[in-house]
Amino acid sequence: MKTFSEFVQLNPDYLKTLLLDDLRATDFARLDEKKHVYLDYTGAGLHAAPQVREHTEYLNSDVAGNPHSASPSSMSATSRVERTRNAVLKYFNGTNTYTAIFTLNASAAIKLVAESFPFEDGSQLLLTADNHNSINGIREFARAKGADIKYSPINIPSLRLDHDSMDSNLNLRNETVPNLLAFPAQSNFSGVKHPLDLVQAAQDKGWSVLLDAAAFVPTNRLDLQTVSPDFVALSFYKMFGYPTGVGCLLVRNSSLGMLKRPWFSGGTVNFATVQGQMHVMSPGEAGFEDGTLNFHSIPAVGMGLAYIERIGIEVIQTRVQCLTNWLLHELLEMRHSNGRALVRIYGPTSTAQRGGTVTMNFYDMAGHLLDYRRLEELAGAEGISLRTGCFCNPGAGELAEGLTLEDMRAAAALGSSASLSSFMKLMETRGEKSAGAIRVSLGVASNYSDVVRFLEFAGNLRDQTSLSIGVATFDIDSCRVIRDGS
């Protein structure tokens, strides 16, 4: 294991991020107080203590009521919500060119596009195989309206897009009807950063583009003047931990008119009549914000953005990149005493065009897979929070783990008896394949010691077998396989 000075010698840019160590000691003190190694930033970011303090002070000093009325409490809430909306647009450099629609989370933002996009008979919905299930789910709306659904493949082992296939798929656009391409700016499975110039390339060929930025924006700047998708979805808790329950759909103003809501609700109409059974939708974002907005939490989004701005997203990116570089390097070097590799990493093993999400499986000396559920349990006992499963990204997972269509058909045949255990057992019998993996991900409060603690944990698996580490004792069947999250 490298000492800190050896690590810094290899990653000199880390020294430009030392401000984050000060913040770790003050704003994220709870981590070290609890000796907690948090490695699930792709699942959820962590909030800094001052964000919560500022929000509490606001809540305790302001009288905020249901927005969009003329009372002082209502006007106060409305003005905070609108200030926050402007702050969101400013942060992403979309003032005057984009509309920010507040949603529950990234999934709800994606669903707004899914249900409102004018798919029709013969429309094309083009998805990358590497996508979160919240994007995969668009296909159900598209299919119901007669659209054709196509997946553009990723390559093994890089888990990057196959550019030739993407090029030819983009040429399949049906010129007479609307067509939608949806892809993640950064994979929540492999950390791969997909090329953002695909946005313009697709638009030039007449596609509308939905960019899933949920896993990208916590450690990267998204400048909407440089990359201008028609639609962008994200969750704020992934960026700065707090608040949960607020996400955003950013819509390019020129594309807003093409979205047609399939229903109306309180808050989305300027006029509705029961006798006439008619309604007139509200213009702009209001037509997409169903019911009462989360007006207490939304102001905390502005506080979170300001916190990130004070640090500088580039500083966070640099730190995550340095730590990821080292993590990858050390994991790849880990060997059992017989020389066999301990770890298999899915996706890129260098930091070029990849973020701080690293997905892997561990193998014993004989090359047999170690049960990731047991490893999660062992990590937990050491105060390490990581994530296991397929991370709601079946496309990347199936390819990375070598699961075939036949394997998936066999799994589907398990029917309602399907559980993680039965799925894993089935895949074991089909060539000792893994039905999931371990994911660690880094973020704003990650430091050298976090990576040391994880590498020590991983190193302790050297020369271990399933027999020696034991079997998983908790039952996570109810929340995995089919409902596996984030």
Ligand X SMILES: Cc1ncc(COP(=O)(O)O)c(C=O)c1O
Identify the DSSP state of 169.
Answer: H
3-state helix, strand, coil in the chain (%, to 5): 40, 15, 40
Interacting residue with ligand X among 45, 67, 178, 184 (CB under 6 A): 184
Cβ 40 to ligand X shortest distance, Å: 10
Nearer to ligand X, 27 or 212 (CB): 212
Locate 182 and state its tokens: 């949806």
Q: Where are the alpha helices (DSSP H) in 270-312?
A: 298-311
Nearer to ligand X, 42 or 361 (CB): 42
Contact string (CB under 6 A) for ligand X, positions 304-343, x = contact: ----------------------------------------
Residue 99 within binding range of ligand X, rule CB under 6 A: no
Write down the least CB distance from residue 311 to ligand X, Å.
Answer: 22
**Using CB under 6 A, which residues numbered 234 to 253 contact ligand X?**
235
Shortest Å distance, C-beta 95 to ligand X:
24
Of residues 21 through 60, those in contact with ligand X by CB under 6 A are 42
Smallest gap, in angstroms, from Cβ of residue 486 to ligand X? 4
Look-up of token digits 């007006």: 295
Task: Kindly state the number of chain residues that form the binding site for ligand X, as judged by CB under 6 A.
Answer: 13
What gap in Å lies between CA 237 and CA 458, rounded to an integer?
28
Q: Are 252 and 97 in contact (CB under 8 A)?
A: yes
Contact between 306 and 87 (Cβ < 8 Å): yes
Q: For residues 344 and 420, is the Cβ–Cβ distance under 8 A? A: no
Query: 350 near 363, Cβ under 8 Å?
Result: no
Q: Which of 248, 322, 390, 392 is catalytic?
A: 392
Q: 402-435 burial, b if ≥16 CB within 10 A, otherwise e? A: ebeeebeebbeeeeeebbbbebbebbeebeebbb
Q: Please identify, among the stretches 100-108, 218-226, 402-410, 426-434, the one whose residues bind ligand X according to the rule CB under 6 A.
A: 100-108
CA dist., res. 216 & res. 233, Å (int): 11
Contact characters 114-133, ligand X, x per CB under 6 A:
------------------x-
Is 392 noted as a catalytic residue in this protein? yes
> In this structure, which amino acid lies at residue 165?
S
The residue ranges that bind ligand X (CB under 6 A) are 42, 105-107, 132, 134, 184, 188, 212, 214-215, 235, 486
The set of catalytic residues is: 392
